[in-house]
Amino acid sequence: VAILGTTISPYLFFWQASQEVEDERESASRQPLVDAPEQSKGAIHRIRWDTYVGMGFSSLVALAIMVTTAATLHVAGKTDIQTSAQAAEALKPIAGQFAFTIFALGIIGTGLLAIPVLAGSAAYALGEARKWPIGLARKPKEAKAFYATIAAATLIGILVDFSPIDPIKALFWSAVINGIVSVPVMVMMMLMTARTDIMKKNTVKGPLCWIGWLATVVMAAAVIGMVLTSFL
When pLDDT is averaged across residues 199-223 and rounded to a whole number, the result is 92
- Per the prediction, the chain carries an average pLDDT of 85
CB distance 178 to 6 below 8 Å: yes
Query: Would you say 149 and 126 are in contact if contact means Cβ atoms under 8 Å apart?
Result: yes
pLDDT the model gives residue 10: 66
Residues 157, 119: contact at Cβ < 8 Å?
A: yes
Contact 135, 128 (CB under 8 A): no
Longest dimension (CA), the chain: 61
What gap in Å lies between CA 196 and CA 202, rounded to an integer?
8
Could you report the per-residue pLDDT of 161-181, keeping only the tens digit for each?
A: 788 888 778 888 889 998 999
- pLDDT tens digits, residue range 10-69? 677 777 777 788 778 777 788 888 888 888 888 889 888 988 998 898 889 888 888 888
Q: Are 73 and 80 in contact (CB under 8 A)?
A: no
Burial 7-24 (b: 16+ CB within 10 A, else e): bbbbbbbbbbebbbebeb
Residue 221 has pLDDT above 90, yes or no: yes
Close Cβ partners of 170 (under 8 Å, ≥ 6 residues apart): 160
- Closest listed residue to residue 200, CA positions, set 68, 40, 34: 34
Nearest to 183 by CA among 220, 213, 212: 220
DSSP letters of the chain? -HHHHHHS-HHHHHHHHHHHHHHHHH-TT---TTT-GGGHHHHHHHHHHHHHHHHHHHHHHHHHHHHHHIIIIITTT--S--SHHHHHHTTHHHHGGGHHHHHHHHHHHHHHHHHHHHHHHHHHHHHHHHT----TTS-GGG-HHHHHHHHHHHHHHHHHHTSSS-HHHHHHHHHHHHHHHHHHHHHHHHHHHT-HHHHGGG---THHHHHHHHHHHHHHHHHHHHHHHHT-
pTM of the model: 0.76
Best-predicted range by mean pLDDT (11-15, 103-107, 193-197): 193-197
